[in-house]
Amino acid sequence: MPQPTAPLTIVVLDILPAARAAQMRALLPPGFTLKHATEQGEAHLLELIREADFAITGQVIVSAKMLRQATRLKLLHKWGVGVDTIDIAAAQDLGIGVARTTGSNALPVAEFTIGLMLSALRCMAYAHHQLKQGHWHGPGKLPAPTMLLSGKTVGLIGLGAIGQNVARLVQGFGCRVLYTKPTRLSLEAEAALKVHHASLDELLEEADVVSLHCPLTPETAGLIDSRALERMKRTAVLVNVARGGVVIEEDLVRALRQKTIMAAAMDVFSVEPLPSDSPLLGIDTLVLTPHLAAVTADTFEPTVKRMFENIRRVSCGESVPERDHVA
């Protein structure tokens, strides 16, 4: 297969541990070198992206200002699926291609979602933290009643690749699955997945667990607000592995403190890293993880190889496969 005639630089905009960077370099196609961020801050990122023929971003926000500095950049690749952190319009104006790894994190995120559901329903995170502090908090000292996932109604807001995997997994617990999304599936597809369509309000009112799997768009920003939380059961659990901006966090804090809902679990936040003074940190019935849902050693190598192959294709004048093409 054709290779670039001169060394080209791939820049990872996220900070990488040395061991992870070494793993990525071992997978590089011939003719490429790899650099990565070593510190936080816009100045460092601006300096780094100027050197990039190709760039990869996991959780770093890529603004129009950054893209204007990237005079050599041919392709910006999202390590994952959601591209709400990338200024797509600016990339298009500048002639910079954008790609992603569609579906690569579907099963990891779905499995993680089940873990968050169970942790929130059974007070696992709270009990773990207390025991690590030397406190034996048995059933009488937990911050909420503990509930089974088995036999419950699970409501999925969004039913893409991740949501569909969650639907399949929770059916192993005998759960009834409701979903809502802008375009309803065909009756045949619903029957194959064993899911039932509902309006947003119906889903919020009927689900014991509400799980978010929608992209962050103008339509979904702030979707879960005080009104939505009031519609949920008092014994309900909210899980967010989508994007932080889908939930109005102040409203969630209030709802948990007032026991409007029983518990929640979040892997994503409106500001990341989560500030050390965030009120979310003070809620015993809230499980928090630092944007880990897509991260598994099992999927690291195939996902990196897929990104590198897309980059290699563009370097040789070829197109990114349609499933990964964004702009």
| Cis peptide upstream of residue 215 (ω within 30 degrees of 0) | no
Q: State the catalytic residue, choosing from 51, 291, 309, 325.
A: 291
Burial of 143 (0-12, 13-18, 19+ CB in 10 A): middle
Q: Is 52 left (phi over 0), alpha (psi -120 to 50) or beta?
A: beta
Q: State the catalytic residue, choosing from 36, 213, 231, 243.
A: 243
Query: b/e per residue, 259-278, with b = 16+ CB within 10 A?
Result: ebbbbbbbbbbbeeebeeeb
Backbone torsions φ then ψ of 157, nearest 5 degrees: -95, 100
Distance of CA 285 to the CA centre of its chain: 21
Active-site residue flag, 184 = no
CB 20 within 8 A of CB 44: no
Q: State the catalytic residue, choosing from 205, 272, 309, 325.
A: 272
Active-site residue flag, 111 = no
Active-site residue flag, 100 = no
Query: Nearest CA to 163 among 187, 179, 186?
Result: 179
Per DSSP, the residues of 230-246 read HHS-TT-EEEE-S-GGG
CB 8 within 8 A of CB 285: no
- Amino acid letter at 158? G
CB 143 within 8 A of CB 198: no
Angle of helix 161-171 versus helix 106-122 axis, rounded to 10: 50
CB 34 within 8 A of CB 59: no
Any idea which residues carry the catalytic annotation? 243, 272, 291
